[in-house]
Chain A
C-alpha cells in the first residue's frame, strides 16, 4: 500500500516544528537586510540534497534501507557514514530536548524544573519510538489534522501588526552571511529531517513525487517564520530577540478571540511537532544500533538506554550558551551528513547498477 500521505504530513510537521523556533533567530542574526536571499539559497540546497538523495535511493530495491546500503558496501564505508549519522542523530536529539525544554521554561513553565520537562519530553517520545515507525507516522497524521489548521490560522493573523515598509532594503549588500556561523546553524531546520526517507523505505512505502510536494509546501513556512518578525518589529529590534517569531505571535491582539494569549496554542502545537521529531530520531538511532552493533538486544531496551543517555547528557549542560556551543559543533557534523550521505548514496547506487549490468 502506498503511504505517501503519511510521509508528506510527517515531513511538513517536523519541518514546521524545527523552523518556527530557532530558524528565524539564526537568519536574522546572519544578515541585516534582504533576508530572502539566504532563505532562498537554503531552500535550493534543500531541494538539491533531497533530489540527489531520492535519486540515489532509487537505484536500490525497495527493501534496502540506508543501513543495508552502507553495510553491504563494505566495513570502511559503513563506518565512514553510519558513525557520523549516529553521532549526528544523537547530538541533534540532545540539542532538541535540551533546547526546547529551555524554551518551555523561558516562555511558560517558569516554576517547573528543567529535568521534569525533559523527562516528559523524552518519556512520550520514547513511548512512541518503542511502538515503532508506523505508530509515529500515524500519530503524525492525527497531529497534522488536529494542529496544523491552528498553525496556519496563527501564521495568517500574525500579519495583524506588520508594517510593510520594513521589507526594505530588499537586496543584500554583500554575501557576508556566508561567513556567519549563525547562517550555518540555520541549516538545522533542513538537516535533520530528510534522512528518515532512507530509513522508512521498507516499512512505509512512498512516492518521490509526494516528498517533493511536501518540500514545496514547507517553503512558505521558511519565509514567513523570518519575515513576520521582521515586518512586525524591524531588523534592528528583531535581532535583539531570542525567539523573534514567538514574540511576534505574542503581539497579536484579538478582542473577539476568547483566549488572551495566542502564544500558548502556538507553542504547544510546535512542541507536539517536536515530540514527533524526537521520537522519529530516537527510532532511527535505535535502528542503527540494533542493525549494526547489538542485533540481539530488544529495541525496547535500546530505546530506554538511548533516552536515558540523552537525559543524562542534557542534565550536564548547564546553560543556554553551552547549548549554542553544542549547536555549533553539531553544524560541522551536519554538513558532513547532509552533503555526504546523498552524494555517497548516488555513487553507491550507480556502482551497484553497473555491477548488476556486468553480471
Chain B
C-alpha cells in the first residue's frame, strides 16, 4: 500500500514539473520588457521600431531606447533579441506610439498583426506622435526620475488622463477597420515646451488610416458621445469659467426616405468657478449653450464630409437599416445625415459664494 502511494506521489511531483508550462523558460533578469513601442516608416517597405525599456539601476530606474529597422515588427524584435544579451518580451507593452506620416498612410497591417500575434496586449493604448520620432524618444529617455511609464501615466484614468484626451486601445482600432458603423479617434501628442508631453487633439481614423484631425475641445465632445464622463473639464466663457460636473446625451434616430435623421440632446451639469462682472445665471447658461452648440455642429459636419464615423452615429441606426445596406452606411447614409442638436445646461451650484446677479 505504502509503495503504491509513494509511486503516486512521485508521479504527481513529476506532473508538477510538467504542468508549470516552463518550457524554454527565461528568468526575469534575462528579459527586456519594453513599456512603450514606437513605430514609424523608415522607407517604403521597412518599419522602424523604438522600444522604451525601463532598466533597474542602483540609484533608481533608467530608461533605455532600443531601435531597430525591419520589414515587420516581429522581425525587428527578433533581431534586437539576437543582438541583446537578453530576450525582448512584448507582453508588457502599454502604449504604442505611431508616427503621424505612417498613420496617414494607414496602419491596418500593423494593427492586424498585433491582434494576431497576442504578444502585444490588445488593450495597449494607441497614440499618434506629431514630432520626429527620434527626437521624441530621445527626450523620453532623458526625463529625470522617469521610471519609463511617463507616457502610460499620461493616459491612465487614475493618473494623468483628462476628459479631453481620447483613450483608444488597439482593439478599438481593429474594430474600426472591420465594423460597418464605427470609427475611432486616436490622440495626437507632441513634445511640450514646459511639460514632457502636450496633447494636440485627436486623429480621425477610418479604415486604419488617419484622415483628419479634431482639436481637444472636440475630443471632449467625442468622449462625451462615447458615454465617458467629461467631469473635470473647465469651460471658459466671456462671463467666467465653469467646471463640468456631469454630462449626458440623449438620442432619437429615425430614417425618412432613406435619409438618416438624428435628434441629439446634450445635457451638462456645471458648477461656477469664476465670474467676471455680474452676469445672471441664465446668461451663463445661455453663453455655454452658445459656445458648445456650434462646436458640436461643426464637428459633426466636418466628420460627415470625411465619411469617418468616429462618433458611431451609425450604431444608432442599426435598428432601422437592414444589415445588407448597413455596409454602405459610411458612403451612402452618413454624408446625408441630418441632425438637430440642443444643448441643455444646468448650473448645479455656484460654489461657496451665492449665485451672481442676485
Contact = CB atoms under 8 A, between A and B. Distances in A.
Interface of A: 32-33, 106-113, 116, 119-120, 123-124, 127, 163, 165-166, 168-169, 173, 233-234, 236-237, 240, 247, 250-253, 255, 260-261
B50 interface: no
Given A107-B118, A250-B122, A123 B323 contact: no
B315 A253 contact: no
B169 interface: yes
Interface in B312-330: 312, 315-316, 318-319, 322-324
A251 B122 contact: yes
B322 A106 contact: no
20 contacts: A33-B323, A108-B21, A109-B23, A110-B118, A111-B23, A116-B23, A124-B19, A163-B312, A165-B315, A166-B315, A166-B318, A169-B323, A234-B182, A236-B178, A250-B123, A251-B123, A251-B169, A255-B157, A255-B158, A260-B121
Contacts of A233: 171, 175, 178-179
Contacts of A123: 15, 18
A234 B184 CA distance: 14
A120 B20 CA distance: 10
A236 B179 contact: yes
Max chain B C-beta neighbours (<10 A), residue from A32, A166, A251: A251
A207 to B, nearest CB: 34
Nearest to A242: B116
Given A247-B171, A250-B123, A255-B158, A106 B118 contact: yes
Contacts of B177: 237
B180 interface: yes
Which are the 5 A-B pairs with shortest beta-carbon distances?
A165-B315, A168-B318, A112-B23, A237-B178, A111-B24
B314 to A, nearest CB: 9
A113 B23 contact: yes
B323 A120 contact: no
Interface residues on B, range: 20 to 34
Chain A interface helix/strand/loop/mixed? loop
B272 to A, nearest CB: 32
A106 B19 CA distance: 17
A260 B122 CA distance: 12
B156 interface: yes
Nearest to A127: B11
Contacts of B169: 251, 253
Nearest to A233: B175
Contacts of A252: 123
Nearest to B157: A255
A28 to B, nearest CB: 12
Contacts of A112: 21, 23-24
Contacts of A127: 11
B178 A234 contact: yes
Given A113-B23, A123-B18, A251-B122, 10 more contacts: A112-B21, A124-B15, A163-B182, A234-B181, A236-B178, A236-B179, A237-B178, A250-B123, A251-B123, A251-B169
